[in-house]
Amino acid sequence: MLGTVRTQLDVVLPYFLAYADEDQRERWFPGLAAGRLLTAVAMTEPGTGSDLAGIRTTAVRDGDAYVLNGAKTFITGGLLADLVIVVARTSTDPDDRRAGLTLLVVEDGMPGFTRGRVLDKKGIKVQDTVELSFDEVRVPVANRLGEEGAAFGHLGHNLPQERMTVAVGSVAQARAALETTLAYVKERQVFGTPVASFQNTKFELAAVAAEIEAAQTMLDRAVRELVDGELSGADAAKVKLFCTEMQARAVDRCLQLFGGYGYILEYPIARLYADARITRIYAGTSEVMKVIITKSLGL
């Protein structure tokens, strides 16, 4: 459920870059590079959120194709996607729930592939989020990304970058909230004086500015480590957790300074508030981030 452009470039494209074979590169890369092919990745299912090991969508090998059955939900960009990377279970290992997952690229127009309703979200109205269903869809083996049964590792490989994408957006949106609030409180008069002149206003915005700076510093270090290939999954989780929780606090404090106008959607602060809520959920909830962090602490 990330913004459409960020989903294309930061979330989906890395899977093609890392795992597409030469034939797939020849078929898809020209369209991807030119912007003619839109993409999506379908992980989440109606009964499975952050627990990817619980995926129930199945793909059974039948000759030179996989027969795909199942449903996905909360799929960003799924309405218009030409290529959808679907995470499906191709085998089951009772001793390892993470084993047996495979990435299959479903193409627009394949029989049995249907797009459901566009979900009516609280925020991020700029991009679509839809339900997808697969009924006996025959996906050529030539459309498999990476090795059969290795999808859990493939997905984990790109998660640090996906979480950095969310963190970057969170810090940027918190900064936008601060800037629009600074402009508003300097103009808005209460009891004959600008809202900016009250000590509470000054203290609230000073606290927000300090938190944004702390998050930015943490984020800058993580991005450098990501580029150098040194960012660990635990550190990516720390950054996403801190930046998204900071965003929530910052936008909420800023909205309060708008008074009743902060609740009106024609004001940017209200839209920033609505958009901010999802960042603590997608790409792994705050609770999942804490689980990852505690494991790195040996707990």
Each residue's pLDDT tens digit, 98-116: 789 999 999 999 999 999 9
Q: Tell me whether strands 144-145 and 83-89 are parallel, antiparallel or unpaired.
A: unpaired
Mean pLDDT of 239-256: 98
Do residues 52 and 89 lie in contact, with contact meaning Cβ atoms separated by under 8 Å? no
| pTM (predicted TM-score) | 0.87
Phi first, then psi, for residue 108 (nearest 5°) are -55, 135
Q: How confident is the model at residue 49 (pLDDT cuts 50, 70, 90)?
A: low
User: What are residue 59's DSSP bridge partners?
Assistant: 68
131 has catalytic annotation: no
Give residues with Cβ within 8 angstroms of 265, minimum separation 6: 271, 274
The active-site residue, picked from 26, 107, 147, 162, is 162
Q: What percent of the chain has pLDDT over 70?
A: 98
Which strand (E) or helix (H) includes residue 194? strand 193-194
Cα gap 164→174, rounded to integer Å: 15
Q: What percent of the chain has pLDDT over 90?
A: 81
